[in-house]
């Protein structure tokens, strides 16, 4: 047994900060997107790759990152991830063309895919000796994800307004260097073990996701029934099918298919995928509506989303956990997705000559409450049925599912919005019509998620003090 680290709480700060930064990297670019589009020449359809390049690499390689952490040691992989993330940040900040920006974002995603699973392994090593301490550590670490995602929106606005968009990437360089400097003193050395790396499986799943996103992005200009679109979609299906076949045949797969026998895993992952497919397009197009229709600058746009940020933090940290203990996961997931759909419905009424107080604030707060109610219960439901030795794999799968759902949802809603006029910069009625279509589509996705969760997910018993005590007694 490893000795208990006297500096484990300081180490937790490093790990939680890493989780904060990795998730913030998906949202900090939101307010900067219009400036990046102008400076780098992105098309309206191509602009989403600033987001998608990161989440496709991050989501597609998370399972590989977890495997590398097992084989080479979590501390080494954690440090390597930060080196890669810093390198990607340099490329993204220095980019002078759209393709260079997308490349930098993809490299950042690879770094995030190494950091996230290694962080979880290190946390378990530091706090696995005490169930109560582990619970507190997990709560603080878990809160870093929504905090990073929501804080990134406001911070991106501040940085873009008072510095320039490259600084949303430059800030990762000093933070990364400070983190690397703290690693030797605070994080435990973890020995690796012998085994093989399923590189073929990792390549197949990542390429399949990327090809599917690309097909959806390009479909409006190529045509949904065109030979090029159908060939890309067929190629994506073939690659993902090959991934599943590889997982059945290799000795040490990235994702042993037996994990899907875990009760509730499949339905919880479906809910997470649809949650990401609804929430991320809403966040993306709300940023564009504020700046391209209402005429907000970068800082006012970030500030306009601050109430939504505060609402998410209050609900996720202070309210959702209590409701989860009282009612269980299923009712909260269903209710959260329905409330999110209602928020989307409100945003779909946004006008070309709208005002923030009427067209954005009420609906965005409703959507934020919906996201807050659904996210943690879906995440916990995906992991709760897994055996202790499979918890890391279950965590990697549900994070992958959310990222992949986000990328595919954004690609689909961008295609829908573009077909309805979202590429008509300067034509406010057409532009708004495109954004409205995206909000409607995202709302339908959220409502579909609620219905499928209601029909497919088994009800879970709420946690009570009595059952917790019984479980604790059984462990002694």
Q: Where are the domains of the chain?
A: 1-184, 204-253, 262-464
Q: Are 170 and 49 in contact (CB under 8 A)?
A: no
- Spans of the chain, pLDDT less than 50: 1, 463-476
The reported pLDDT for the residue numbered 383 is: 74
DSSP 3-state of 462 = coil
Q: Are 440 and 344 in contact (CB under 8 A)?
A: yes
Q: Could you give the CA distance from residue 131 to residue 471 in angstroms, rounded to a whole number?
A: 11
Q: Are 460 and 268 in contact (CB under 8 A)?
A: no
Residue 5 falls in which region: left (phi positive, over 0), alpha (psi -120 to 50) or beta? beta
The reported pLDDT for the residue numbered 389 is: 62
The reported pLDDT for the residue numbered 91 is: 96
Q: How far is CA 29 from CA 104, 162, 166, 279, 441, in A?
A: 13, 15, 10, 16, 23
Q: Could you give the CA distance from residue 365 to residue 307 in angstroms, rounded to a whole number?
A: 7
Alpha carbon 373 to its chain centroid, in Å, reads 16
At a CB cut-off of 8 Å and minimum separation 6, what does 85 contact? 22, 25, 107, 108, 111, 112, 115, 172, 176
The reported pLDDT for the residue numbered 391 is: 66
Residue 68 falls in which region: left (phi positive, over 0), alpha (psi -120 to 50) or beta? alpha
Burial class of residue 111, CB neighbours in 10 A (0-12, 13-18, 19+):
buried
pLDDT tens per residue across span 185-230 = 888 887 767 777 888 988 898 888 888 888 887 777 778 788 988 9
The reported pLDDT for the residue numbered 463 is: 45
Say which CATH architecture domain 1-184 belongs to. Up-down Bundle (1.20)
Q: Which of 345, 340, 348 is nearest to 433 (CA)?
A: 348
Identical fold, 1-184 and 262-464:
yes
Q: Are 35 and 101 in contact (CB under 8 A)?
A: no
Q: Could you give the CA distance from residue 224 to residue 210 in angstroms, rounded to a whole number?
A: 17
pLDDT tens per residue across span 24-71 = 887 788 788 888 998 998 887 788 888 888 888 888 888 888 888 878
pTM to 2 decimal places: 0.80
Residues 225-234: contacts with CB within 8 Å, 24+ apart? none
End-to-end CA distance of the chain: 18
262-464, what's its fold?
A: Growth Hormone; Chain: A; (1.20.1250)
Q: Could you give the CA distance from residue 436 to residue 386 in angstroms, rounded to a whole number?
A: 40
């Amino acid at each position: 047994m490893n000795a208990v680290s006297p500096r484990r709480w300081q180490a937790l700060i490093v790990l939680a900060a890493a989780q904060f930064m990795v998730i913030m990297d998906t949202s900090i670019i939101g307010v900067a997107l219009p400036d990046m589009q102008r400076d780098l020449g992105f098309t309206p359809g191509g602009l989403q790759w600033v987001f998608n390049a990161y989440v496709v690499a991050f989501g597609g390689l998370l399972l590989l990152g977890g495997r590398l952490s097992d084989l080479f040691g979590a501390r080494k992989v954690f440090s390597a991830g930060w080196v890669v993330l810093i390198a990607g940040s340099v490329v993204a900040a220095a980019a002078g063309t759209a393709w260079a920006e997308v490349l930098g974002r993809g490299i950042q995603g690879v770094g995030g895919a190494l950091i996230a699973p290694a962080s979880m392994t290190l946390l378990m090593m530091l706090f696995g000796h005490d169930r109560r301490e582990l619970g507190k550590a997990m709560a603080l670490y878990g809160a870093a994800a929504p905090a990073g995602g929501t804080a990134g929106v406001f911070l991106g606005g501040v940085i873009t307004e008072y510095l320039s968009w490259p600084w949303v990437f430059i800030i990762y360089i000093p933070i990364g260097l400070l983190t690397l400097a703290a690693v030797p003193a605070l994080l435990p050395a973890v020995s690796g073990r012998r085994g093989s790396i399923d590189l073929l499986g990792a390549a197949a799943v990542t390429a399949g996701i990327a090809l599917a996103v690309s097909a959806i992005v390009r479909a409006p200009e190529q045509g949904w029934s065109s030979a090029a679109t159908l060939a890309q979609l067929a190629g994506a299906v073939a690659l993902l099918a090959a991934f599943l076949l590889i997982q059945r045949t290799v000795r040490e797969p990235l994702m042993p298919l037996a994990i899907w026998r875990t009760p509730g895993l499949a339905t919880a992952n479906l809910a997470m995928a649809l949650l990401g497919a609804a929430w991320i397009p809403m966040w993306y197009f709300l940023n564009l509506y504020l700046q391209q229709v209402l005429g907000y600058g970068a800082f006012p746009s970030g500030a306009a989303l601050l109430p939504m940020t505060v609402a998410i933090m209050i609900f996720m940290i202070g309210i959702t956990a209590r409701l989860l203990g009282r009612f269980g996961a299923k009712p909260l997931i269903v209710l959260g997705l329905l409330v999110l759909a209602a928020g989307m419905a409100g945003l779909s009424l946004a006008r070309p000559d709208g005002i923030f107080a009427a067209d954005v604030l009420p609906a965005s707060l409703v959507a934020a409450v919906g996201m807050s109610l659904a996210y943690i219960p879906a995440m916990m439901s995906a992991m709760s049925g897994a055996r202790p030795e499979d918890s890391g794999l279950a965590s990697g799968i549900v994070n992958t599912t959310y990222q992949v759902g986000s990328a595919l949802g954004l690609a689909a809603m961008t295609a829908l919005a573009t077909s309805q006029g979202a590429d008509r910069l300067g034509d406010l009625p057409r532009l708004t019509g495109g954004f409205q279509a995206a909000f409607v589509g995202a709302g339908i996705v959220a409502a579909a998620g609620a219905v499928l969760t209601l029909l497919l997910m088994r009800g879970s018993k709420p946690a009570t003090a009595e059952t917790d005590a019984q479980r604790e007694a059984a462990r002694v």
